[in-house]
Amino acid sequence: MVVYYGYNPPFIGGLEGILSRQEDERLIKNDILQLLLTLPGERVHEPNFGTRLRAAPFEPLDDVTMSALRTEILAVLEREEPRITQTQVFLKKDEQQLQLRVTVSGVLSFDPNVKLLVETAIPITGGNT
């Protein structure tokens, strides 16, 4: 049974070659990625939507900054994403590939048997490692 459905990138490639309909787990993963990669104030009429994750490469990635970013991501997910529970956020600097790796895990609120894992990476400069 499908609980959630919608249209998310990629917008090309659906059955008719135009829209790619997504549902449940895939839709929620893409919605979380959009939430993580949108800067606050970037969305019109939604100034609190998003996180400062994309701004992280321009800040010193010390323990204090990483902890504040993790706390912010958890708060935004709790506020904006009711479809997941038991949310955990892991941030790790990959100094060899110059990336900040972000992992979000949780459980689908409408089906506690389904675990959700979302991963992304943000490029960082050599001075932030």
CATH number at residue 58: 3.10.450.40
Q: Which domain covers residue 93, as residue numbers?
A: 24-128
Q: Is residue 7 part of a domain?
A: no
pLDDT single digits (tens) 24-71:
788 889 899 999 999 999 989 999 999 999 998 888 889 999 999 999
Count structural domains, the chain.
Answer: 1
> Using CA atoms, how far apart are residues 22 and 8, in angstroms rounded to an integer?
7
How many whole angstroms separate alpha carbon 125 and alpha carbon 68? 19
Residues 74-118 pLDDT 10s = 999 999 999 999 999 999 998 888 999 999 999 999 899 999 999
* Residue 73: C-alpha distances to residues 6, 81, 111 (Å): 23, 11, 23
pTM over 0.75: yes
Residue pair 47/39 in contact (Cβ under 8 Å)? The answer is no
Backbone angles phi and psi of 110, in degrees to 5: -90, -10
